[in-house]
């Protein structure tokens, strides 16, 4: 998206744009969630990256070893180097099962699964196909994680999946989280907590994982609680790319500390971090990155002209939450305003409903895949406001 937007804005002769990527394929990551339940076929969420890059952009396929900010240079794993005037880091976060003792033990991909990778989602689809019940535990290792609503969506979808197969009464479901409730923000946490209860899904909160006991098949917390499982679907610790840590550009999770409004590195004026790779205090969600990039493009042009950056990001996030049974809910929030009920994007008319489960929201979510491939990645502007608006939202008591 950045390359597509900037190539249009920066004169060819003055600015050369180079993209470094280690993967020739681009994955539609929101699609992973629907693979375990057989809704999406894995082949529909992967496309060659080349297709989405504009003309006039160089592509380097390979792994980055280090960024040397004092030299304005990127060092590749194969020893070659790339010099830069301005550097944009958008390497996201990656699930790291190796960070929790026992996660990659003998039960990994036997009874312990993840769904934030294509391989994991595919393996889980195979497992669920003929699983006939028992204790299903869905677990978040540590916050922040990308798409923080996805684990909740997973349990909602699992509930309807088992219901449809007629084995729901043979499945005991537990949702295990390090948070003190179903979600982070009070109003949404209450609503989502009630949705868990309605579906007879147990909630184990404030659970900070120490290890997975493969023999007992149980999660073990630092305060010595144990949650036994027959099937565990876990979200491993999410960390930024290792090269960020090696380059001294990251915090304890290898995310780059940046200004919340402009994404400029707090340490280096000519380094920006966008999307999940940054440490901004909002959800690590695709929508955040999309909104942020609109503003970043304007800011970047000001920045290279030596002007002050005036397009300040508000932390806007907008997420569809699949709730099972062909319905979904929509939430819209930012740094300061938590998700609230109401209508979106047009006040009173919608057509989407905020914080309410509707069929239309579900179709919105399914449609988004098309929008993603055909409008977002090519850098076309969507007809939605970039900054969050209070219009159409109802203020409610917590």
Partner 1 sequence: MSLATIADQEVHVDEEGFLTEYDEWNEELARQLAANIGIELDDRHMEAIRFLRDDFESEGETATLRRVTTLSGIPTKVLFQLFPKKPAKKMAYIAGLPKPTGCV
Give the C-alpha separation, 249 to 68, whole Å: 9
Give the C-alpha separation, 336 to 245, whole Å: 29
Decide the pairing of beta strands 57-61 and 64-68: unpaired
State yes or no: cis peptide before 351, omega within 30 of 0.
yes
What is the closest distance, in whole angstroms, from the C-beta atom of residue 101 to partner 1 in the complex?
Answer: 12
Give me the DSSP letters along 47-109: EEGGGGPPTTEEEEES-EEEEETTTTEEEETTS-EEE-SSEEE---EEE-GGGSTTTTSTTBT
In the window 27-86, what residues touch partner 1 (CB under 8 A)? none
Give me the DSSP letters along 352-380: EEETS-BHHHHHHHHHHHHHIIIIITTTP
Nearer to partner 1 by Cβ, of 167 and 179: the residue is 179
Nearer to partner 1 by Cβ, of 23 and 206: the residue is 206
Nearer to partner 1 by Cβ, of 19 and 203: the residue is 203
What is the closest distance, in whole angstroms, from the C-beta atom of residue 361 to partner 1 in the complex?
Answer: 21
Site string for partner 1, 245-284 (x = CB under 8 A): ------xxx---------------------------xxx-
Nearest to 381 by CA among 371, 367, 366: 371
Instruction: Output the CA torsion 162→165→170→174 (10° steps).
Output: -10
State yes or no: cis peptide before 144, omega within 30 of 0.
yes
Binds partner 1 (CB under 8 A): choice among 70, 198, 223, 308: 223
Nearer to partner 1 by Cβ, of 78 and 180: the residue is 180
Nearer to partner 1 by Cβ, of 91 and 283: the residue is 283
Site string for partner 1, 278-317 (x = CB under 8 A): ---xxx----------------------------------
Neighbours of 55 (CB within 10 A): 6
- The Cα angle at residue 294 between residues 290 and 300, in degrees rounded to 5: 125
Nearest to 14 by CA among 60, 56, 72, 55: 56
In the window 130-149, what residues touch partner 1 (CB under 8 A)? 142-145, 148
Binds partner 1 (CB under 8 A): choice among 222, 359, 390, 394: 222
Nearer to partner 1 by Cβ, of 259 and 298: the residue is 259
Instruction: Output the CA torsion 283→296→378→89 (10° steps).
Output: -70
What is the closest distance, in whole angstroms, from the C-beta atom of residue 89 to partner 1 in the complex?
Answer: 20
Site string for partner 1, 164-203 (x = CB under 8 A): ---------------xx---xx------------------
Binds partner 1 (CB under 8 A): choice among 208, 226, 248, 326: 208
Nearer to partner 1 by Cβ, of 179 and 304: the residue is 179
Nearer to partner 1 by Cβ, of 14 and 252: the residue is 252
**DSSP for residue 143:** S
Decide the pairing of beta strands 231-235 and 238-240: unpaired
Binding residues for partner 1, rule: CB under 8 A, are: 142-145, 148, 179-180, 184-185, 206, 208, 210, 222-223, 251-253, 281-283
């Amino acid at each position: 998206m950045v390359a597509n937007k900037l190539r249009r804005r920066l004169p060819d002769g003055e600015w050369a744009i180079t993209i470094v990527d280690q993967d020739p394929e681009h994955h539609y990551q929101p699609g992973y969630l629907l693979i375990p339940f057989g809704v999406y076929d894995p082949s529909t969420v992967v496309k060659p990256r080349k297709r989405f890059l504009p003309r006039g952009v160089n592509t380097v396929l390979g792994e980055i070893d280090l960024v040397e900010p004092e030299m304005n240079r990127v060092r590749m794993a194969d020893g070659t180097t790339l010099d830069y005037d301005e550097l944009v880091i958008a390497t996201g976060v990656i699930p790291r099962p190796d960070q929790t003792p026992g996660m990659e033990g003998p039960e990994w991909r036997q009874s312990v699964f993840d769904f934030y990778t294509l391989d994991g989602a595919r393996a889980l689809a195979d497992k669920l196909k003929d699983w006939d019940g028992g204790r299903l535990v869905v677990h978040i290792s540590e916050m922040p994680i990308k798409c923080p609503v996805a684990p909740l969506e997973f349990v909602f979808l699992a509930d309807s999946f088992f219901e449809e197969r007629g084995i729901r009464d043979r499945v005991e479901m537990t949702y295990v989280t390090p948070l003190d409730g179903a979600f982070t923000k009070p109003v949404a946490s209450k609503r989502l907590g009630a949705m868990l209860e309605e579906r007879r899904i147990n909630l184990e909160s404030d659970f900070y994982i120490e290890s997975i006991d493969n023999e007992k098949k149980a999660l073990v917390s630092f305060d010595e609680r144990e949650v036994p499982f027959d099937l565990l679907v876990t979200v491993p610790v999410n960390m930024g790319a290792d090269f960020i840590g090696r380059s001294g550009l990251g915090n304890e999770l290898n995310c780059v500390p940046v200004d919340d409004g402009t994404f400029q590195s707090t340490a280096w004026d000519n380094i920006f971090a966008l999307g999940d790779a940054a440490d901004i205090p909002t959800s690590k969600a695709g929508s955040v990155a999309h909104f942020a990039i609109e503003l970043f493009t304007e800011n970047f042009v000001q920045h290279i002209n030596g002007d002050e950056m005036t397009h300040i990001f508000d932390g806007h996030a907008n997420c569809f939450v699949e709730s099972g049974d062909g319905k979904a809910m929509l939430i819209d929030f930012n740094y300061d305003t938590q998700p609230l009920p109401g209508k979106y994007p047009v006040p009173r008319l919608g057509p989407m409903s905020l914080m309410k489960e509707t069929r239309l929201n579900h179709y919105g979510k399914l449609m988004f895949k098309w929008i993603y491939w055909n409008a977002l990645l090519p850098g076309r502007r969507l007809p939605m406001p970039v900054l969050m608006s209070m219009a159409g939202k109802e203020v409610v008591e917590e």
